[in-house]
Structure formats: C-alpha cells, structure tokens
Amino acid sequence: MPNHPPLPDADADADADVRRRRSERALDAANLFLADVRDGLGPYLAIYLIAVRGPERGWNEATVGLVLTIAGIAGLLMTTPAGALIDKVRAKRAILVAAAVAVTAGSLALPFVSGFGPVVVSQSLAAVAGTVFAPGLTAISLGIVGARGFTRRVGRNEAFNHAGNAVAAVIAGGTAWYFGPVAVFYLMAALAVLSIGAILRIDPTTIDHAVARGCADEDDRDDGPPPSILQTLTHTPALGIFAACAFLFHLSNAAMLPSVGQLLGREVGAGQATSLMAACIAGAQLVMVPVAIVIGKKADAWGHKPIFLFGFAVLALRGVLYTLSDSPAWLLGVQLLDGIGAGIFGALFPVVIAAVTRGSGRFNVAQGAVATVQGLGGALSPTIAGALIVWGGYDEAFLVLAGIAALGLALYAWRVPETAR
C-alpha cells in the first residue's frame, strides 16, 4: 500500500505535544531555580540580624521577630490580590519575572541599609513581590496539564522546588563558611537570573488560561470584580475550614526553623550558624523531594485527609523533640522531620484547593485567600516565638508551637472532608 503523508491534525497534535513537553521541562527548571528566590532570605535573615548586626546595633530575637511579622503582614495583604491578578491576566510569565527581580533587589539592599525602618521596607518589598510565585506557578501548571494531570504536576513542581532549596542551601553553607552570611545575598542574585531564563522558556501558547483559573472551558468566564477574602472562604465551607487549618499549621511551623537559627547564632557564631542552618535546610529539602514525588503519584489513591493528618502529627512531634537537646547534631536530625510535615503540606495545598473550587473559575483567588490566612499565621509565628524565647526560653517556645500543631490536627480530623475524589 502507498505511504500517505500524516494528516494535518496529526501533525498539529504532535507539535502541540512537543511544545507542551518543552514547557513542562522549563517549568521544572523554573521551580528549581526559584526555590531559593521565592521566599527571600527566609531563616538566613534571622542569623544575619542576630549574629552580624546584633552586637553592634542591639538586634535581639524579639526585634527580629517583629521585622519578620511586619514583612509577613505586608505580603499577606497582597496575597489575595495576587491570586486575582493571576486569574485575570495572560502575561503570567512577565509577572513572575518582575517578581523575581523585585525579591532579589529587596534582599540585596539589606547589606547597604541600616536601622529598623529600612530593613522593614526592604523585606516588605520582597514579601509583597513574592506573593505572585505560588499562584503564578500553579496556574501555569494547571493551564498546561489540565485537571487530570494536576496532582502529578504539583508533586513534580514540589520535588524540583525542594531539590533547588537543598542545592542552594549546600552552596550557601559552603560559601558562608568562608565569606560569612553575606554570601547568601549574591547566591540569590545568581539564582534569580537563572530562574528568569527558565520562565521565559515556557511556551505561552501551551497555557490554557481558562483552565489555569479553574474554568471548565475558554467560554467559562467571570469578568466581574474578584470576591473578597471572606466571600471566597465562605462560599465553600470546606475551603474556609481548610484555611483555618493552614493558619494553625503555619502559626506552628513558620517560627521553628528561624528559632533554631537564632539558637545556633547565639551558641556558635554567625559563620558556623549560617552553615549549620544551610545543613538543616538542605537535609529537610532532600527529604521533601521523595515525599513530593510519592504524594504526586499516590495522593489521589490514598486519600488527601490521612496524609494531611500525618503531616500535622509530624509537625507537633518536631516541636517537642527540639526541646530535648541543644546539640547542633540533634537539631539537624530533628529538622529532617520538616521534610515530611512541610513536604506534605506543600504538595497537597494547591491540590485540595483545586478540588474544592473546580469549575468555579476562582482557583487562584481561592489560593490567594487561603494563602492570606495561612500567611497571617506565618507572620504572627515569629513574633510569638520571639516573645516566648525572650520571656521564657527556647524550650517553652517550641512546646507552644507543638501544641498549636496538635490543635490543627484535631480541627482537620474533625471538620475537613476527604477531597481525593
């Protein structure tokens, strides 16, 4: 029989599949390089301010906690608008590039500014810009792979994100040992440049922007003003309860690693503390990689609820174990548990929200609303922990944080339904 040329539709489908695979690989690289950029200086800020500026300018744990809280509040106020922005616009790649530049600029300014006010401004700028990363990356992911492939794609995103954090932490630890904590600033700048290149390699034609916002098809639109946080959370009761659980998780978790960093900074000095903090981060992130991969493949079959409950239990246990010893080796070992608890939360957070908002066209607004609530917990956590450390000591602070995690576990078990359907 004669060979016939392939049908035009077959050629188009094959070309679309090639472009989609290229975009997914670019998305892998973006998650890898953005890992250390999207959260700004994170726990390194506490070490820098306590160990480098503390002796000269009177910074202590409570003051550092206040800086982190103010920056966190600035960020959380913009989280829901950031989700609404991602829902509305098609230039998602450009928004992510601009955010990477802004976060890096805010962090690089820190060595050149002094005083409480300028530090707060620089970190608030970084926090506000960082609010678009989570909805932007997950929206692009959903728009490329669709609802059926979303759980797997989120697991893959988280795996590359954690691998990037681990590699960056190892590099930060090695350079900080020789050059001091300031090396972290320049590492962030290099990663920001690489992340921008990866974002620009995502083919914009492979993103279905209607699917990316949780719509069923391109005609399913809502061009009205975005709902308020309260309207978003109360429209679907399960979403509001999940937001309360996310608040408790971050109220417990956000201050644990910075508190460990402050403790190390007091005990061993800035250079060693930064390197030990990098080891803590790298160890936890390496644990998160297989956790994210397994959840991406198995969560829909195993069920979201039992996995989330296990994550809360691990978080509570971690807070208790921190009180048993101040040895750097022990603290590093306990920090590995963060790879399980936070790894579970990160991999399932957008999946649960996508499940309860599917078809609404408000996926990213819902992400922003829940992230605002959880961000409030994350912003309050350092201030609460810092005050407890100053007034009662590190052990008391860790036990209170563990108790908050236990409360979140109870609420999730009682009120959050199974979403793996």
**What would the pLDDT profile of 6-20 be if each residue is shown by its tens digit?**
545 666 667 778 889
Helices 328-335, 304-321: crossing angle, 10 deg rounding: 170
Q: Is the pLDDT of residue 343 over 50?
A: yes
With a cut of 60, say whether residue 223 has pLDDT above it. Answer: no
User: Do 200 and 30 meet the contact criterion of CB atoms below 8 Å apart?
Assistant: no
Nearest to 65 by CA among 45, 51, 79: 45
CA dihedral 283, 289, 291, 293 (to 10 degrees): -170
Tokens of 232: 């978003």
- Quick check: 390 and 157 in contact, CB under 8 A? no
Decide yes or no: CATH 1.10.540.10 for domain 19-219+229-415.
Answer: no
Tell me the C-alpha distance between 227 and 256, whole Å.
33
pLDDT tens digits, residue range 379-401?
789 889 988 988 888 889 999 99
Q: What is the pLDDT of residue 127?
A: 85
DSSP track, 16-50: HHHHHHHHHHHHHHHHHHHTTTTTTTTHHHHHIII
Task: Kindly tell me if the per-residue pLDDT of 306 is higher than 80.
Answer: yes
pLDDT at 269: 60
Predicted TM-score (pTM) of this structure:
0.77
Domain ranges for the chain, please list them: 19-219+229-415
